[in-house]
């Protein structure tokens, strides 16, 4: 006797994982940046994209914005829009990391902790980009098939 696999249940489990795991990732990344604006600014400046002034501005807002994005996913508020914005932000992060790699810059990603003093060789560009590609997959999954159970306003 074979049991029929419930495809809807499997898809719901994947959707729940995508939503709640990415909520955790965004909140973790944002909390790591709180109270560390100088370190975050130095990490942003190391990408050699923004001026010192813009790096400082971004350093003060990026952590709180990541936390807000994570909380929106966690609470299930505007799931498709939150996932769409998260996907765009991740793509921009990947462009920044990719251009730094192509230009031969030795940087600390600054993704989950701001540590500009860290040895640049610790940054594994390929693994970081693969990780972010996985995150984009989860965000797109959430956009296409949001897990609406326990959502306040999907």
The pLDDT value given to residue 154: 77
Contacts 24+ apart (CB under 8 A), 101-108: 101/125, 101/129, 103/48, 105/46, 105/47, 105/48, 107/43, 107/46, 107/47, 108/43, 108/46
Q: How far apart are CA 128 and CA 94, in angstroms?
A: 8
Prediction pTM value: 0.90
Q: What is the mean pLDDT of each run of 10 residues along the chain (154 residues)?
A: 80 97 98 92 94 96 97 97 98 96 88 58 86 98 96 87
The pLDDT value given to residue 107: 87
The pLDDT value given to residue 101: 95
The pLDDT value given to residue 110: 79
The pLDDT value given to residue 120: 46
Phi, psi for 141 (deg, rounded to 5): -60, -45
């Amino acid at each position: 006797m074979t049991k029929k696999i419930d495809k809807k249940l499997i898809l719901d489990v994947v959707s729940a994982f995508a939503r709640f795991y990415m909520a955790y990732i965004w909140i973790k990344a944002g909390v790591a940046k709180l109270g560390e604006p100088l370190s975050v600014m130095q990490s942003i400046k190391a990408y050699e994209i923004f001026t010192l002034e813009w790096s400082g501005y971004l350093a003060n807002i990026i952590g709180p914005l990541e936390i807000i994005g994570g909380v929106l996913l966690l609470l299930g508020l505007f799931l498709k829009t939150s996932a769409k914005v998260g996907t765009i932000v991740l793509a921009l992060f990947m462009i920044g990391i990719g251009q730094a790699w192509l230009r031969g810059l030795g940087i600390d990603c600054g993704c989950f902790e701001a540590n500009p003093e860290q040895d640049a060789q610790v940054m594994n560009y390929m693994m970081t980009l693969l990780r972010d590609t996985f995150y984009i997959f989860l965000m797109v999954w959430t956009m296409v098939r949001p897990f609406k159970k326990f959502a306040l306003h999907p």
